[in-house]
Amino acid sequence: MNKYRDVERKHLPQIEAILNMVNSKKGVEAILLNESTEMEDTKLSFDAITSIGTKVSIRIRKLKYFDRFKDVTIRRVSMNGGKTELDKLKDGLGEMYFFAWADDEGIKHFIYYSIDKLRPYLDYGTDENNPDGTGLRCFSFKKLLSYNAVDSCTSSLYHWQMDRLVLPKGCWKHI
Which CATH architecture fits 3-166?
A: 3-Layer(aba) Sandwich (3.40)
Say if CB 156 and CB 109 are below 8 A apart: yes
The per-residue pLDDT for range 46-81, each reduced to its tens digit, is 889 888 889 999 999 999 988 787 789 999 999 888
How large a percentage of the chain has pLDDT more than 70?
A: 87
SS3 category, 113 = strand
Interatomic CA distance for residues 4 and 22, integer angstroms = 25
Q: Whole-prediction pTM value?
A: 0.85
> Does residue 105 register a pLDDT over 60?
yes
CA-based R_g, the chain, Å: 15
Residue 165 — pLDDT band, cuts 50, 70, 90? very low
Residue 156, pLDDT score: 65
